[in-house]
Copies of this chain bind each other. A is one copy, B any other.
């Protein structure tokens, strides 16, 4: 066995994530590794926290990046906020609501499911019914932007409903953060997680999270230990906390954090609102082009995510063959359907650095050539 250095092909990433990582972010990741307790690194972590507060639109002190992918960020929220016996209302309108259910149950909680058809937004009236039927529920969890279907739910309304019934909220913003309006403080979101590899266009592997005071209070009031040592916020915050003192918890993924920092600097340079507008503009251009080709969206117009375009595979077209040809002949990655949508839809991402007019044109031209 002799294995050589790996040189990946140069792709254009227009699937459900990871999205294209810009040269600036890649170069940041290649900067010299320093110790995770180095004063210079701690300064960078403080900046990262400020930048995350900006993209989440929050002043929450408890805002940082979990040292693992978005699935771990999800688990961080549930493992800290759900105690055995807690009843959680979980909205499912795609793959990731189902993963939330798994998380609740593995934490010893009771998941009350609110089901909506895949490709539809979460229906607030169903959530209200569930809240009325379950006065002992303490949490409502939902996905703001369903990566598996491209549907967006009305986070502001859902959070308001939950609060009216005395529940805290856990929101999945893996695909929404920086791609579509999201206002953690204004909407009153209590706990939220995201991923580095979608509209931030950093490399996968980190999960930005934020918790408000109500969430922090619930965690402090726990009568049982958080079942995960790695994700226990009481311990993690000793390291990310703002007191200037950093207690060793685990070794932070130094170079990955360089990349996340740089990706956040780029969002700050563009301006968050400008980033949202750009995602919307490029979505409209892609939509118009696809519709001209007779390719239709699975999500109703008002619920569509600009950064993730789920479209029906035209009749008679071989899903896998088309995606293979796009990858092999054009170095273009688009996403397959997940779960019950496998084989039925394509998911075309226009996320972060990959959301550009150039990529819209490239994708439309490549699809035209292949179909």
Contacts and interface: CB of A to CB of B under 8 A. Distances in A.
A46 to B, nearest CB: 10
A58 to B, nearest CB: 14
Contact of A70 (B41, B79, B205, B251): B251
B36 A18 contact: yes
Given A205-B256, A265-B3, A8 B41 contact: yes
A150 interface: no
A11 to B, nearest CB: 5
Interface stretch (A20-28, A182-190, A286-294, A311-319): A20-28
Interface stretch (A99-107, A125-133, A302-310): A99-107
A interface secondary structure, majority? loop
Contacts of A264: 3
A251 B195 contact: yes
A-B pairs with the 5 shortest C-beta distances?
A205-B253, A30-B30, A68-B68, A71-B250, A203-B255
Contact of A1 (B4, B54, B262): B54
A119 to B, nearest CB: 19
Contact of A71 (B229, B265, B333): B229
Contacts of A253: 69, 203-205, 253, 256
A93 to B, nearest CB: 18
Contact of A225 (B79, B106, B205): B106
Contacts of A103: 229
Interface in A1-59: 1-11, 13, 15, 17-18, 20-21, 24, 26-36, 38-41, 44, 47, 50-51, 54
Q: How many copies does the complex hold?
A: 2
Interface size class of A (residues with CB under 8 A): 35 or more
A102 B225 CA distance: 10
7 contacts: A9-B34, A17-B251, A38-B333, A72-B72, A79-B228, A204-B252, A204-B254
Contacts of A2: 268
A238 to B, nearest CB: 13
A51 B2 CA distance: 9
Given A6-B261, A250-B70, A21 B26 contact: no
Contact of A28 (B6, B50, B107): B6
A327 interface: yes
A34 B105 CA distance: 33
